[in-house]
Amino acid sequence: MIETDNLTKTYGNVTAVEDLTLRVDEGEVFGFLGPNGAGKTTTVRVLTCLISKTSGEASIADYEVGNSADCQNIRKLIGLVPDNVGLYEDLSAYRNLDFYGRLYECPEAQRRERIEYFLKMLELWDVRDRAVRTFSRGMKQKLAIVRALIHDPQVLFLDEPTANLDPQFQKTVRDFILELKHEKRTIFLNTHNLDEAQRICDRIGILNTQLVAEGTPGQLMTSLEGRKTEVQLQQVTPAVTRALERLGLRYVVANGNTVVIDVNDPETENPGIAEAIVAAGGRVQFVTEKRASLEEVYLKLVREER
Amino acid sequence: MKLWKSWAIARKDFATFRTKRYIIYALVVPPLLMSIGLPTLIWLGFGSAPIPASQVPAAISALNHGLDSFSFLFVIIAGVLPISIGAYSIVGEKLEKTLEPLLATPTTDGEILLGKVIAAFLPSVIATYAGAVIFMALMNAATSTKLGYVYFPNWTIAAILLITVPLISILSTEFNVIISARVSDIRAAQQFGALITLPLGALFVATEVAFVSLTPASVAIVSAIILVIDVLLFFLSRATFRREEILTKWK
């Protein structure tokens, strides 16, 4: 659905995005992480035909980004929630949505139906005639998301949709994004919120001008230190450690009662490990998979790049 | 070009302008001042004291010339009124962060610019016409007894109001929209936009020193020139509208 190939964008001597190659499939939620100034917003602006690319290729649904005729088709296919919500503060919520519905060429009946559907879904229907300037930040954010959906786009670009929202509104917006995911829309999500990315995204790309890592949240989390199994025992005895050594495993003992073991394939190795520990007289309390958190992976990759 | 999209943009702008007091004042105050102030001046100058019989022809001639000159002031008003709205058009969207979602819609530069032109043009022309109607009514009341006939409406002011005023309003609007797309704050846009009044002022002076006589024919010639400039300015505004520059270079 979204493809880039060595996409590069420079502003004068400053390179905002360099050689970005990625692919986002239809119905996928792709999270784009990166520090401030990493090029996330620039990437979204290029992909949404707001600014030109310097070199490389990009396409959405086989329409070429940068080709002016194709850009008109791309704009019909996509919805954008920019980092600043950009609503007309003096107009009512309904008027804002109706205006964009017209520009997206939605027939009047469909426009009315969709405005009512989304405003009711996000509990904004009762305030539809109020000027947007009277709305809270969370209400504006929800309204901006509805605006991006008014023409039923296949692809949605969300730039920091939960930034500056309180936890309750963050959850509302996140739940709404999950609803959209279930509707099989392709979602390109720029975010600083690692927890959000981990919960919502099918795949994640970490950008720091260049793409430094890409994969499912699980792949990224195991990429840092490999896979590990953590076994908590009543007590780690010499017999237990000898049993692990006999299996040829690398391990460390933590807190006197926990062993953290490097494994390649925990699904096949863990039963043997548990058996060996029990046979050595160890009393197993918990067996869990130990992973680096997405935050650890992100921080390590971003620091390495610097 | 889908004209209904331009109309949607213009309607949205009308609704926004209604909430901006400075735009309302900028639209209402100048024509009102002129339409009430000028007849008051005439009434104070000619209204009360009787004119000696020997001076009547000269006084009437001076009055005729003054009334024609005042008529031309509506051309200047039509050039001045779009400054506030036109200056707001693009830079206002940028400052209120609404430009990015607007540019992300399948709307062409031409459709956006035409919408902005309509949004500035219609209120300006309506305000100019409203001012002109009040002006003509009060001026007739102030002068008809001296002149012995009702001066307004006449062919000169008809040509000015029906041809020159809309054309000059379009010219000023386009000029201000172009300026608005090139500068990064509303005040700068208004200051640059006000440059449009200089050639109009020069034209007014030319009529005053009888370098250009104000007749329906001369008004038609001036209007034809303005029409050509209007068309050129529209194409220029499209050619100089740089989405990327507006989005990335303005703070």
Amino acid at B100: E
Say whether residue B245 is in contact with chain A using an 8 A CB cutoff. Answer: no
Residues in B 204-243 with any Cβ partner in A closer than 8 A: 243
Question: Which residue of chain B is at minimal alpha-carbon distance from A132?
Answer: B16
Question: Which residue of chain B is at minimal alpha-carbon distance from A156?
Answer: B104
For each of the domains in chain A, give its residue range(s) and CATH number, in order of start.
Answer: 2-215 (3.40.50.300), 226-291 (3.30.70.270)
Out of B98, B99, B106, name the one closest to residue A76 (CB). B106
Cβ–Cβ contacts within 10 Å for residue A182, how many? 8
CA distance A205 to A220: 9
Q: What is the pLDDT of residue B50?
A: 66
Q: What is the pLDDT of residue A195?
A: 86
CB contact under 8 A, B8 and A102: yes
Chain A residues touching residue B101 (CB < 8 angstroms): 80, 82, 86, 100, 144, 147-148
Q: Two tokens at B44?
A: 């104070």
Chain A residues touching residue B251 (CB < 8 angstroms): none
> Is the CB of residue A25 less than 8 Å from the CB of residue A186?
yes
Say whether residue A30 is in contact with chain B using an 8 A CB cutoff. Answer: no
CB contact under 8 A, B15 and A95: yes
CA distance B214 to B237: 31
CA distance A68 to A91: 31
Cite the DSSP H helix spans in B96-185: 99-103, 109-147, 155-159, 165-180
Mutate to test the interface with A, among B21, B89, B100 (most CBs of A within 10 A): B100
Q: What is the pLDDT of residue A251?
A: 83
pLDDT tens digits along B19-72: 889 889 999 999 999 999 999 988 887 766 666 777 777 877 878 778 888 888
Q: What is residue A299's DSSP assignment? A: H
Question: Beta strand pairing status for A29-33 and A186-191?
Answer: parallel
Q: What is the pLDDT of residue A224?
A: 67
Chain B residues touching residue A87 (CB < 8 angstroms): 98
Say whether residue A61 is in contact with chain B using an 8 A CB cutoff. Answer: no
Average pLDDT, chain B: 86
pLDDT tens digits along B102-152: 999 999 989 998 999 999 999 999 999 999 999 999 999 988 887 788 888
Q: What is the pLDDT of residue B213?
A: 72
Chain A residues touching residue B12 (CB < 8 angstroms): 88, 91, 95, 99
Question: Which residue of chain B is at minimal alpha-carbon distance from A70?
Answer: B106
CB contact under 8 A, A82 and B8: no
The minimum CA-CA distance between A151 and chain B, rounded to whole Å, is 10
CB contact under 8 A, A105 and B106: yes
Q: Two tokens at A305?
A: 């790049």
Kindly provide the ipTM of the predicted complex, given to two decimals.
0.83
CB contact under 8 A, A78 and B104: yes
Say whether residue B48 is in contact with chain A using an 8 A CB cutoff. Answer: no
Per-domain residue ranges of chain B: 3-249
Q: What is the pLDDT of residue B251?
A: 54
Out of A11, A75, A87, name the one closest to residue B105 (CB). A75
Between B98 and B249, residue with greater pLDDT: B98
pLDDT of B10 over the 90 cut: yes
CB contact under 8 A, A87 and B98: yes
**Which positions of chain A have pLDDT values less than 70?**
224-225, 305-306
pLDDT tens digits along B159-172: 899 999 999 999 99
> Is the CB of residue A63 less than 8 Å from the CB of residue A69?
no
pLDDT of B97 over the 70 cut: yes
> Is the CB of residue B140 less than 8 Å from the CB of residue B148?
no
Q: What is the pLDDT of residue A306?
A: 58
CB contact under 8 A, A103 and B96: no
Mutate to test the interface with B, among A88, A132, A137, A149 (most CBs of B within 10 A): A88
Q: What is the pLDDT of residue B43?
A: 84
CB contact under 8 A, B101 and A86: yes
- Residues recorded for chain B: 251
Q: pTM of the entire structure? A: 0.82
CB contact under 8 A, A103 and B8: yes
The minimum CA-CA distance between B25 and chain A, rounded to whole Å, is 18
Q: Two tokens at A87?
A: 């609503």
Question: Which residue of chain A is at minimal alpha-carbon distance from B244?
Answer: A51
Q: What is the pLDDT of residue B163?
A: 92
Residue B241 phi/psi, 5° resolution? -85, 105
Say whether residue B96 is in contact with chain A using an 8 A CB cutoff. Answer: yes
B192-198 contacts at long range (C-beta below 8 A, 24 or more positions apart): B193/B83, B193/B86, B193/B87, B194/B80, B194/B83, B196/B79, B196/B83, B196/B171, B196/B172, B197/B76, B197/B79, B197/B80
